[in-house]
Structure 1
Amino acid sequence: MRLSTVSILGGTFVAAAALSATTAFFAALAVERSSADGVRLALDTEAMNWTDVAANGLQIMLSGTAPSEAERFRAITVAGQVVDASRVIDDMDVTASKGIAPPRFSIELLRNDGQLNLIGLIPAATDRDALVERLSGLPGVENVVDLLETADHRVPESWPLTLDYAVAALRELPRSKISLSAGEVTVTAMTSSVEKQRKLETDLQRRAPGPIDLTLDISAPRPVITPFTLRYLIDEQGARFDACSADTEETRRRILTAARGTGLEGEARCVLGLGVPSPEWAEATSSAILALGRIGRGSVTFSDADVTLIAAESADRATFDRVVGELENTLPDVFALHAVFPETDEGAPRGPAEFSATLSPEGQVQLRGRVHDELSRQSADSYARSRFGSDDVYFAARLDDSVPEGWSLRVLAGLQALSELANGAVTVTETAVTVRGVTGNADANADIARILSDRLGDGEDFTIEVTYDEKLDPEAALPTPEECIADVKSIQESRKINFEPGSATVTGDSRAILDDIAEVLKFCGPVDLEIGGHTDSQGREIMNEQLSQDRADTVLAELRQRRVKTAGFVATGYGETQPIADNDTEEGREENRRIEFSLIAAAAPAETDSVLESTADSGTEEATGEAGDDAAEEPSEDEQN
């Protein structure tokens, strides 16, 4: 059967359409794969391996998790450079952002006497006005400049504790910088003396609570040392310094290094000070110390530029001569060396010339032995009585005009050295001065060496065997402020301070308790103390406040009259604002009328987790006493009586 022309034409068109569709499909597939491969290559080239690329027809699908929003946008840009940007479909995620790190809260407290600047960042929850008011109330602060900024973020756990400590420490530092952050405090300050520096460092470290990391940079002016003294000995007991002075840290290091090279063990005290006689002090002293080590035993003493080297009797004479010759050539020109090798003559008679002075723990002094003449006796007796007290000196020395030349000067030098001891003895012989005893002064050895080297002159030998006893140190023996307040409190437990009704005049029977309190405070040393006046609620509040202030001022004046050092004392009148008993009863009102002694910047109660409260804080140790009757608009029962 023959096909019709129409059928043939129709079949041809259908076959052509199928062929075109097939060709178009494979062409589109090729374009799709080519686009995806191009985008993939471009992304890999840019190190964006975190992306996944898929093609959906002419569209390019980007998926995956971008490390940041910026990286997500960069991936879209890179893909848009390979294919038309309208074909790029963004199906990417972005890594969740981490929580914002909290800010570092910190304050710089810069104080120069009356001016106080606050610089830093504090939590918004910190009561800024209360902080400024608290700092404005510090003794001597006249102006507080607030340059603080705030951030609304959680308050660090140790922030309040750190801030309390820093504010309280600032009370004792009129010229200082205190840097604080949560749990960290750095104090930079200068004191007027080494003693005050040590006391301040001890107080700040003792009061710092455990969670706070405290760094101290407190400096003090160097003392003027005159004469500039160094004394180094090597004997059967080993090597040691009786006195050591240096002008710089480098000089001290060189001196101690030389001493350790000749047998010195352990720590050695070498004071930094002013007054060095020559910039070549380090070279001269270290050379002399090493020379003594080569000789073996003996002593070397520097008194400014005068140098005395004394060998022990057991030293070798040839070695001594050689070492001294080398030392003379080594010492800088300004230094004058006097070297002594002891001569022994077994056949020569030894004279019994000797003078001794003994100081007992009770302060009694006995002077025995020999003095040159009546004038020397009077000089020694007068000097001893002036240093130890007229009633405590017993003079039993006899006259002997055969004593060696310069004997009187040696005796007076020995007495001066003895006055540096708490108890002990000094012995003066023809060949040496020996000082033995116990002292409460950590620098007594250096002081005694300075006295003897200055008074005795070149070529004179002396021995110092002095022991430091901390129990005898006046500063170390002082009671703590807490112990002082406890003693005051014990006095007031059975007695009270009374005032005339409605006035600030202390009654006669209250003067005895003020005497006893004054005796306690005299031995407390420097202490920051508040005398608080309190009244009952009778009368007008403003009158009660003024009366309590007047009474606190009166107590402060009474203590001053009794020679109590009140530089750190303040008087505050609280009126009726802090009752400790019920004002509705006479017994309660009697308890509320009182004088309280409390430490300023003392440790707060444990339950408040606060330390070193300021004056306005109430968490201090207290010793309370009676303040007397309150002022009132109408006479109280006591006034009527």
Structure 2
Amino acid sequence: MPRLIPYLPWAVFAVAAFVAVLAAALLAGTLERQTRADLETAFAEARMDWVEVATDGLRVHLSGTAPDERARLTALRLAGGVVHSARLRDTIEAQGAAGVVSPVFRIEALRNHDRISVIGLVPAVQGAGAIVERMAAIEDEIAVADMLQSADHPVPPGWEQAVDYALGVLTALPVAQVSVTAGRIEVQALVASDAARQQLESELRAAAPRGQVVILDLEAPRPILSPYTFRFVLDEDGTRLEACAADNDDDRDRILSAVRRAGANERLTCTIGMGMPAPRWAQAVELGVETLAGLGAGTLGFSDTDVALRVPATVAQAEFDRAVGRLETRLPEAFTLTAERREPDPDSVAEDDTLPELRATLDTEGRVLIAGRLPDERIRGAVTAFANARFGSEAVTLEARLDPELPSGWSVRALTALEALAELNSGSVLMRADRVDLTGISGNPEASDRVTRILSDGLGADARLAVRVRYDEELDPVAQAPTPERCESRVQAVLAARKITFAPGSAQLDSDSRAVLDEIAEILRECGELPLEVAGHTDSQGRAETNQRLSQERAEAVINGLLERRVLVAGMVAQGYGQDNPIADNATAAGREANRRIEISLIRPEPEPAARDAELEAQLVFEVQTPDADDTRPRARPAPN
């Protein structure tokens, strides 16, 4: 026994090692079984019974025959959500109804700042590794999760250009999702603002490779609203929603539905933004609107959780007291109500021209005239500096006299009024000690909301405001952005007013047509490169072959003329139709004149054919039934004579 004692530690170590190896093996087996079970459950829930799952340690092997390539990629994407893509190995084959079909090459890439995930099928000659390397080179230390597969099939036309464009998008946009197939590119991305979205959309469309259908879905993040504002007016002029804010689509719909029930039927907008001061904001606004609608006249304002309800003297005192009591008891916690019944209503009496005021007027040329009273020279200098900064020093004229007896807070109110006026394209603001009246026109559909928020924030939730801002779509840079369809419409409007004409029997533009081409070129330079067909048409006089050739030469002459005017013409196609498509009667001189024309229109992609599901078609069963004696039968045809 003493001889065995020196060997006792080694025996203990050997036993411990054996136990550790056994535990590791058991744990690995447990992980394998759990991984396989999770994948089989996921595939079963997705009704992908054709996928076979096998595990080898930490590696997972997928095999089977997919009904089509789309199903194979869906299976890989589903498996990637259960285990890391680096552990996946697949030998799945895609098969159609009549054997193996050519694969559909596709890339789905998602970038979130320093991470890119990419999945899909690419041609073997191009190689998945080359694409992943280019993605990894976008920025230093960017991580790429690679789930690309390759297939040894010919590279489809346009594929390489589409991939280059997609990589350019991922390079330019830190948060984006790009889907690429040969002939179609889809981009989803976040942008900083509506203005940035407009510029980016124009740049992406201009850079799109020829022959590709580009679908853009660019969204601006929700703005932060402070204060969170709502303002609704019922008066002799009708109903007006002057400001509205909501946290999400459901809250916005709830608020606007309440406003419509209260009688508003004009175009309504409500800004969705962050900063909602209380979880039950929409409920509180809805209760306030219902209360004001029941009273029939007045103003309802929310500034964060401060609520102001004002009604004119025409509302009975007893009815007002009852409505206020009901609203106070039903408003959610955190909201504070201030209610006032004015006697008489200041908006209905004649103006007292002895009261001090300050008026600022912004005309359509951007010039601002500030007149009225200011308390001292220091404040007049501050107002001048502020106005110069907001409107431009060359545009501001100050004609305000000094009055040291003005109410306290006059300077703050003056600066706030000017800040609100700066949100308009044109308008005026009248400021008095007891209220602020602002009217004007804006190309921003949310201008009324922004103006009311500025005034409420600067003057307080209980300030008496009258805001009347009209939205004019003609002044809206977003609504007037040069989309392909809008550019086409503008060009066609020019051609409808004045034709492009040529010397008889020639492709030489006449002098009048040069002015028309100048006008079209000015439009197209704003639109970037567009896929346009320039079509030439003639009347029916002369030989058909000669007319066709002449119409082709005239269409080419128009494109060359646009090129000389610095228009991007790479996406344009000249097409001569000769006399084949008349729009008037060639038997009359007026008809022949109408038929001699140039048309410019967008080249729109052919709609993709609906994909057929061979598996579902194979399951269709047509059962032939034999009618019995109870079935209704058609009347017999009369026998022939």
Letter in 2 for 1:136: R
Measured in 1, the distance between the counterparts of 2:99 and 2:315 equals 78
Aligned to 1:335: 335
Task: Give, in whole Å, the separation in 1 of the partners of 2:174 and 2:269.
Answer: 30
Matched residues, percent identical?
38
Task: Give the SS at the match of 2:299.
Answer: strand
Equivalence for 1:94: none
TM norm structure 2:
0.52
**Residue 425 (structure 1) aligns with:** 428
Q: Is the 8 A contact 2:128 2:149 kept in 1?
A: no
Change (3 A) 1:388 1:113: closer
Alignment CA distance shift 1:161-1:317 (3 Å): farther
The reply on whether 1:398 has 2:401 as its aligned counterpart is yes
Q: Find 1:460's aligned residue among 463, 482, 486.
A: 463
For structure 2, the 5+ residue unaligned runs are: 1-96, 488-524, 530-565, 575-601, 605-641
Task: Tell me the equivalent position of 1:243.
Answer: 243
Q: Which residue of 2 aligns with 1:273?
A: 273
Partner of 2:607: none
**Equivalent residue for 1:42?**
none
Q: Which amino acid aligns with 2:465?
A: F
Secondary structure of the residue aligned to 1:397 is strand
Match of 2:368 among 365, 369, 373: 365
In structure 1, how many angstroms separate the alpha carbons of the residues matched to 2:571 and 2:207? Answer: 11
The residue identity in structure 1 corresponding to 2:419 is: Q
Alpha-carbon spacing, 1:179–1:389, altered in 2? closer, same or farther (3 Å): closer
Deviation of 1:453 (Å): 0.7
- Partner of 1:107 in structure 2? 107
Gaps of 5+ in 1: 1-96, 484-523, 529-596, 612-641
Summarize the Cα distance change of 1:388–1:287 in structure 2 as closer, same or farther, 3 Å threshold: same
The corresponding residue for 1:178 is 178
How many angstroms does 1:320 deviate by? 2.6
State yes or no: 1:447 paired with 2:445.
no
User: What is the match of residue 412 of structure 1?
Assistant: 415
Aligned to 2:534: none
Secondary structure at the aligned position of 1:286 is classed as: helix
Residue 436 of structure 1 is matched in structure 2 by 439
Output the CA distance in 2 between the equivalents of 1:477 and 1:139: 38
Write the distance in 1 (CA, Å) between the matches of 2:232 and 2:205. 34
Tell me the distance in 1 between the aligned counterparts of 2:438 and 2:300.
Answer: 17
Amino acid at match of 2:196: K
8 Å contact from structure 2 (residues 128, 150) kept in 1: no
2:354 counterpart (342, 352, 356): 352
Q: Name 1:546's counterpart in structure 2.
A: none
What is aligned with 2:149?
Answer: 148
Change (3 A) 1:131 1:527: farther
Given the superposition, is the C-alpha separation of residues 412 and 316 from structure 1 closer, same or farther in structure 2, using an over 3 Å criterion? farther
Q: CA deviation at 1:208?
A: 7.5
Q: Distance in 1 between matches of 2:443 and 2:351?
A: 40
Report Cα offsets for 1:349-400 as digits up to 9, x if no partner. 9453232111233333222223455555454444334433445433323345
Give 1:289's aligned residue: 289
Q: For residues 605 and 147 of structure 1, what CA distance do their matches in structure 2 show?
A: 35
Do 1:194 and 1:221's aligned partners in 2 also have CA atoms closer than 8 Å? no
Instruction: Find the counterpart in structure 2 of residue 136 from structure 1.
Output: 134
The reply to whether residue 387 of structure 1 matches residue 390 of structure 2 is: yes
How far 1:268 moved relative to its partner?
2.5
Cross-structure match for 1:64:
none
| Per-residue CA distance 1:548-576 (angstroms, 9 max, x = gap) | xxxxxxxxxxxxxxxxxxxxxxxxxxxxx
Deviations, residues 421-478 of structure 1 (Å, cap 9, x unaligned): 2332111235431112233444322221111111222432212222344555566778
The CA distance in 2 between the partners of 1:104 and 1:173, in whole Å, is 26
Please give the TM-score of this superposition, normalised by the length of structure 1: 0.52
Amino acid at match of 1:412: L
Is the 2:246–2:272 contact (alpha carbons within 8 Å) kept by the matching residues of 1? yes
Matches for 1:458-607 after TM superposition, within 5 Å? 458-469=461-472, 472=475, 604=571, 606=573
Count how many residue pairs are aligned between Structure 1 and Structure 2: 403
Structure 1 pair 363/253, CA: closer, same or farther in 2 (3 Å)? closer
Change (3 A) 1:274 1:152: same
Cα–Cα, structure 1 residues 213 and 340, in superposed 2: closer, same or farther, change >3 Å? farther
Structure 2 counterpart of 1:233: 233
Contact 2:127 / 2:150 at 8 angstroms: preserved in 1?
no
CA contact (8 A) 1:340 1:459 kept: no
Per the alignment, do residues 214 and 604 of structure 1 end up closer, same or farther by CA in structure 2, a change over 3 Å counting? closer
From the superposition, tell whether residues 152 and 311 of structure 1 become closer, same or farther in structure 2 (CA, over 3 Å). same
Q: Equivalents in 2 of 1:227, 1:598: separation in Å?
A: 46
Q: CA deviation at 1:302?
A: 1.2
Structure 1 position 202, deviation (Å): 6.6
The answer to whether the 8 Å contact 1:338/1:458 transfers is no
Larger Rg: 1
Output the CA distance in 1 between the equivalents of 2:415 and 2:461.
17
Measure the CA separation in 2 of the matches of 1:347 and 1:214: 60
Aligned residue type for 1:387? R
Q: 1:416 to 1:191 in 2, by over 3 A?
A: closer
> How large is the Cα RMSD of the aligned pairs?
4.8
What is the alpha-carbon distance in structure 2 between the residues aligned to residue 373 and residue 437 of structure 1? 29
Q: Is the 8 A contact 2:438 2:468 kept in 1?
A: yes
Q: Output one character per residue of 1:533-591: Cα deviation in whole Å (capped at 9) or x when no partner.
A: xxxxxxxxxxxxxxxxxxxxxxxxxxxxxxxxxxxxxxxxxxxxxxxxxxxxxxxxxxx
Structure 1 residues 480 and 109: alpha-carbon distance in aligned structure 2, compared to 1, 3 A threshold? same
Question: 1:148 is aligned with what amino acid?
Answer: Q
Match of 1:560 in 2: none
Task: Give deviations 1:209-268, integer Å, cap 9, x for gaps.
Answer: 999776655554322211111222233444332221122333222212221221233553
